[in-house]
Amino acid sequence: MVRKRALSKKGWELFNVASNISPTNTCLKTLFFNFITSDFDVKLEKSQKSFRLGSCSLYSYLNKKDRDLIPTFFNNALANLVYLILADDNKVNSLKKVKQNIHFYYSLAELAFKNNDHNSVILLKAALEDTAIKRLKIKHSKKEVKLIKMFEDNYGTFMNCNAKHLKKILETDDVLNFLPSVVIILMHLNKTKEYSKCYESLGKFPKSLRDKQKKLSNIVNKYYINYRELQDDLLELYFTDPNDLLLLQDIDEKSITIKLIQLSKKIKR
């Protein structure tokens, strides 16, 4: 039995992915593929490829001129994903539909992880752990519980600044296959710069801190140089201001966080 679609038309627009899926030819191989593959799996694969391209295009903003745009892009994408979990085609979802959407995004995060797109995993993880989602108290499946543990084991948490992911970033030298979280790289790069200023004001500059700052700067430059031609491929998910989403326009709050919480309160059980 084909599983129901778990993503709205608006979602596909934000992912720069067409919402209709049709075979490109009628060869036997294509017919067999369509027979054994569910609609859910096809959309999952298309979303994974789109998210990966979005991660690569984010690195094109790592030059000094555009770097300050990245936190806004991340915050936009985070809020837009939470919205897409809570609403489909500008209608508030039922609790059952929200659960289906959560299942889709955990499956997408798992696929991104397998493909070393850690930038997308950490973005999806942040959306799925958002207060507007958590307050619904939806019970996770056994698979989702395992994924949550796997992500924490590999990345750490936002409470410890995803220290495990930073360690992996510093140890890995494969800009083509390993796609780290852009916001985590920048967060730690900025932290080392601030620490440097403090130590310099005291007339000190520990070698370990100097080496870490230099290595992070080199990593940032490598990713920028390798992906600098991809700015035009950034997903609408990152560009779109969540304040412009229809159901959030009607909520009289300034904070996007509060708006999303108010939206989640409209979910019917």
Domain that holds residue 98: 9-14+41-164+228-264
215 domain-assigned: no
The string of pLDDT tens digits covering residues 217-230 is: 999 999 999 999 99
For residue 2, the model assigns a pLDDT of: 33
Say how far apart CA 57 and CA 120 lie, in whole Å: 12
254 domain-assigned: yes
Per-residue pLDDT band for 204 (boundaries 50, 70, 90) equals low
Domains identified in the chain, total number: 1
For 74-97, what is the mean pLDDT?
A: 94
111 domain-assigned: yes
Say how far apart CA 189 and CA 237 lie, in whole Å: 25
Beta bridge partners of residue 197, listed in sequence order: none
For 64, 135, 235, 258, 261, the CA distances from 253, given in Å and listed in that order, are 33, 18, 26, 7, 11
For residue 108, the model assigns a pLDDT of: 97
Phi, psi of 88 (to 5 degrees): -125, 125
98 domain-assigned: yes
For 54-62, what is the mean pLDDT?
A: 97
For 8-22, what is the mean pLDDT?
A: 66
State the greatest distance between any 2 C-alpha atoms of the chain, in Å, as a whole number: 72
61 domain-assigned: yes
Residues 6+ apart with CB under 8 A from 251: 259, 262, 263
For the chain, the first-to-last Cα distance in angstroms comes to 26
The whole-model pTM stands at 0.86
* Residue 31 scores a pLDDT above 60: no
Highest mean pLDDT among 5-9, 35-39, 46-50: 46-50
Q: Which residue has the higher pLDDT, 146 or 9?
A: 146
For residue 198, the model assigns a pLDDT of: 54
Say how far apart CA 214 and CA 171 lie, in whole Å: 14
